Amino acid sequence: MGVAFMVKVLVFGSFDVVHKGHEYFFRKAREFGDELVVVIGRNKTIERVKGCLPKFSESERVKHVRSIDGVDKVVLGSEGEDKFKVIEDINPDIIVLGYDQDSFSDGLKAELVRRGLGGVKIVMLDSFKPEKYKSSLMKS
């Protein structure tokens, strides 16, 4: 009797104000595998990338995302300069990125190869009504 192979899908984000666009993102990402792991950006990372701190604390954002159907595991991103360390720790089969995650996708494939994770598939999803469900629009 063989061991069942589980496809692990990994997504990243700040997920500060969880909205229908995020729910769409999680649902579509989940379709690529058997287990959906969500990495939530650390406050320092979000401030560096977006230029401001998130509205909700790290623990509040973890709690919000954990409550979403289809999300199997939620972890905080790596602290420090090595933002790719969490990928090594999780060892996903597929990384799903949102349509607007270019700050993370730049150089991602090359970094995965450098770390011996070249077999990880990267998928970029289309947007879901970005004129209505985009975090930067919903903060105001």
Say which DSSP state 118 is in.
T
Enumerate the domain spans of the chain. 8-138
- 14, burial (CB in 10 Å: exposed 0-12, middle 13-18, buried 19+): buried
What's residue 88's pLDDT? Answer: 93
What's residue 25's pLDDT? Answer: 93
Which phi and psi angles does 45 have, rounded to 5°?
-65, -45
Q: Which residues contact 84 (CB under 8 A, 6 or more apart)?
A: 78, 111, 112, 115
pLDDT (tens place) for every residue of the chain, 140 residues total = 556 679 999 999 999 999 888 999 999 999 999 999 999 999 998 898 889 999 999 999 999 999 999 999 999 998 877 888 999 999 999 999 988 887 667 789 999 999 999 999 999 998 765 555 454 444 44
Residue with tokens 């401030």: 47
CATH of domain 8-138: 3.40.50.620
